[in-house]
Amino acid sequence: MAIRVLMPKMSFVVTEGTILEWLKKPGDQVIKGEPLLVVESEKATVEIESPGAGILGPDLASPGTTVPITTTIGYILEPGEESPKLELGHTGSDREGVSAATDAKRSDAAVVSEGQKEDKPREGPIRASPSAKRLAREHGIDLAQVVGSGPQGRIVEKDVTAFWEAQTQSEEKSPVRATPAARKLASELTIDLSTVQGTGPGGRVTLEDVKKVSKGTEGAPVWESGLATEQVELTTIQRIAAERMSLSFRTAPHFYLSLQVDMTQAVAMREGLLTSVETSTGVRLSFSDILVCGVAQALKEHPTLNVTFEQDQLRRYQEINVGLAVDTSRGLTVPVFHQADQLSLLELAHRRAEIVDKANNNRLTPEDVSGGTFTVSNLGMFGIDVFGAIINPPQAAILAVGQIARRPVVVGDAIQIRATMWLSLSVDHRAVDGATAARFLQTLVRYLESPYQLLI
């Protein structure tokens, strides 16, 4: 019996994934649990294991295809078994294997004519693929006006293309021919399009034409023109992270607490343990290991920071899962130390080395990036002293960590040079108040300034 290969549910906030690469070819023998394909989600690039043993079927979703979680993207067959037909629906990028004729029919169905437009806005959240959202932004199209042809009315790229083409055809009846993006910007800047000279095909007003005019508009932003630019394609991680961070900053009222911690004993402890830890585990102990360990223990004492605020409800996580932001070639990702409060410092060091290596090689699994309840972002290795981080939704706090540097501090009545480090805690004020967050920081400082208690 055919075994379905599904787009996995990589975390409770991930709704879709993009296929980057199949590690096996159609007809190859596969074993249950071996790496089968590489998928990119908003959180990370992960390696997906085979759900069963058999022969990989001939019909696979193409690399570049973006589909919702739990969608069937291929089949594993028994010898001689006929493969079921793969029904992706009209989902994902235009690189998926859908015929041009089928695309055209679906695009036509997605066009909303003037007589079909809804008088009231679409109710509920708008479901759209990343490529559809990007295209809508480029053309200044409101997705609420677009009818989706994907599963459950999901808007896909060709729906946006069809809508834009329909607008282009209808605008020919207008006295002024302009692109949707040009019309939107002109409306925002209160510019009369009839006064703008179009440089597009047939004298059509383009976005750049409106930008040029806006230079002379009082109170309008000044747009640079005539400069050479290069289109930079965002990875899925970068694009969706941008959307999620924007949402977090708009919806979560951030407040920030910063303080300087004396790392003298932490530096001495790490130097004293370096050789023994590397000998026993093969891993070089880092300050990130000490940080994650300290954060986990501080959260254990202050579970009020280990929470989420969603849909006007405050919920407390039952596990302490600390995420560590890692910079990779495809963008920022956040591998997770599950139940970090129950791991020793040596176990955390071994886990950190493992997941950072997997992150840098695009081989994180869904489990590696799911279930985080608190995040640590360390930019000390780049020489950064202090910074404020944006909360990683749906979490309620994130700790920003600067470099350890020798600085003058007052000790008793004397000034001494000590190794210190700045910590900045960003907190969602809907979930946590200032005093609660301050007490958490005080506890964390206690662990970092007396780090040997982390070894107990």
Closest CA to 46 of 371, 376, 352, 358: 358
Q: How far apart are CA 389 and CA 397, in angstroms?
A: 9
**Looking only at Cα atoms, what is the longest distance across the chain?**
84
Q: Identify any residues that bridge with 256 across adjacent strands, giving them in sequence order.
A: 426
Q: Clarify whether 139 is annotated catalytic.
A: no
Q: What is the DSSP string of 74-111?
A: EEEE-TTPPPPPP---S-S-TTSS--HHHHHHHHHHH-
Per-residue DSSP letter, 266? H
Closest CA to 313 of 194, 396, 197: 396
Task: Locate 450 and state its tokens.
Answer: 């007396």
Q: How far apart are CA 329 and CA 211, in angstroms?
A: 33
Q: How far apart are CA 423 and CA 221, in angstroms?
A: 36
Q: Which residue has the tokens 């950072």?
A: 356
Cis amide prior to 408 (ω within 30 degrees): no
Q: How far apart are CA 75 and CA 70, in angstroms?
A: 13
The Cβ of residue 53 has, within 10 Å, a number of other Cβ atoms equal to: 14
Task: Locate 290 and state its tokens.
Answer: 């000490």
Q: How far apart are CA 18 and CA 240, in angstroms?
A: 12
Closest CA to 3 of 65, 61, 58, 51: 51
Task: Locate 346 and state its tokens.
Answer: 């040596």
Closest CA to 8 of 30, 37, 28: 37
Catalytic residue among 90, 254, 302, 429: 429
Q: How far apart are CA 427 and CA 442, in angstroms?
A: 15
Contacts of 153 (CB under 8 A, 6+ apart): 127, 147
Instruction: Compute CA 372 distance to the chain's CA centroid, rounded to the nearest angstrom.
Output: 13
Contact 352, 289 (CB under 8 A): yes
Length of the chain, please? 456
Q: How far apart are CA 80 and CA 71, in angstroms?
A: 25
Supply the residues annotated as catalytic: 429
